[in-house]
C-alpha cells in the first residue's frame, strides 16, 4: 500500500524534492498520455504516472536558499561521461555560506551512485520492440 493517500488524508505538509532536469511543462498533461494499457509500442516496461499535487516542490534553487541562505542561478544542465542529469549553479551570498554549500555538494558527490534492478533482455517478461 502506498503511504501517499494516508499522508494526503492527514494533511501532512509533503516536501517534494525535484531536480531541475526532471521538470517537464505539465505533469498533469503528461500523466494523461501514460498508462500500462495505453502504450502500443515501447522499449522495456510500460508505465504510468501519478501526479502529486498537494506538496511543496523544492528544487536545488530553493534548497540552497533554505539550507545556506544563498541565491542560486541555474546556468547549465546535463553532460556526458557520467555527468548526464547534472546541473550547474552560480551561488551568490556571503563567502562563508557559499563555502558551506560548496563543501556539502562536494560531500554529496562522494556518495555512491544509486543502482537499479534492470533485467537483461533474456530475463525480461515485458517484451518490447528491439
Torsion region of 109: left, alpha or beta (phi above 0 gives left; psi -120 to 50 gives alpha): alpha
DSSP string, 18-73: --GGG--S-HHHHHHH--TTT-SS-SS---------SSEEE-HHHHHHHHHS-EEE
For residue 103, tell me if it sits in a domain.
Answer: yes
Q: Identify the pLDDT of residue 99.
A: 98
Tell me the three state secondary structure of residue 87.
strand
Rounded Cα distance between 107 and 122, Å, is 38
Tell me the three state secondary structure of residue 112.
coil
For residue 125, tell me if it sits in a domain.
Answer: no
Residues 1 and 54 in one domain: yes
Rounded Cα distance between 35 and 41, Å, is 12
Residues 64 and 54 in one domain: no
Residues 42 and 87 in one domain: no
Residues 27 and 65 in one domain: no
For the chain, the distance separating the N- and C-terminal CA atoms, rounded to the nearest angstrom, is: 34
**What's the pTM?**
0.65
Residues 74 and 105 in one domain: yes
Give the model's confidence band at 117: pLDDT under 50 very low, under 70 low, under 90 confident, else very high: confident
**Over the stretch 1-50, which tens digit does the pLDDT of each residue have?**
578 788 888 888 888 877 766 556 687 888 888 888 888 887 777 788 88
Rounded Cα distance between 45 and 124, Å, is 9
Q: Identify the pLDDT of residue 30.
A: 82
Residues 48 and 90 in one domain: no
Q: Identify the pLDDT of residue 45.
A: 75
Between residues 126 and 102, the one the model is more confident about: 102
Q: Which three cell numbers stand for residue 48?
A: 504510468
Q: Identify the pLDDT of residue 25.
A: 66
* Domain total in the chain: 2
Residues 53 and 74 in one domain: no
Q: What is the span of the domain harbouring residue 107?
A: 60-113
Residues 78 and 91 in one domain: yes
Residues 15 and 65 in one domain: no
Residues 43 and 67 in one domain: no
CA 9 → CA 2, 3, 4, 16, distances in Å? 12, 10, 9, 17
Q: Identify the pLDDT of residue 91.
A: 98
For residue 99, tell me if it sits in a domain.
Answer: yes
Residues 1 and 28 in one domain: yes
Residues 52 and 5 in one domain: yes
Amino acid at each position: 500500500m502506498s503511504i501517499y493517500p494516508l499522508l494526503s488524508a492527514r494533511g501532512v505538509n509533503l516536501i517534494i524534492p525535484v531536480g531541475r532536469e526532471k521538470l517537464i511543462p505539465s505533469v498533469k498533461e503528461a500523466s494523461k498520455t501514460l498508462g500500462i494499457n495505453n502504450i502500443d509500442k515501447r522499449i522495456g516496461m510500460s508505465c504510468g504516472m501519478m501526479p502529486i499535487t498537494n506538496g511543496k516542490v523544492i528544487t536545488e534553487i530553493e534548497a540552497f536558499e533554505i539550507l545556506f541562505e544563498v541565491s542560486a542561478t541555474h546556468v547549465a544542465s546535463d553532460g556526458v561521461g557520467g555527468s548526464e542529469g547534472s546541473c550547474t549553479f552560480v551561488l551568490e551570498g556571503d563567502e562563508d555560506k557559499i563555502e558551506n554549500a560548496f563543501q556539502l555538494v562536494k560531500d554529496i558527490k562522494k556518495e555512491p551512485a544509486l543502482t537499479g534492478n534492470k533485467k537483461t533482455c533474456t530475463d525480461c517478461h515485458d517484451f518490447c520492440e528491439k
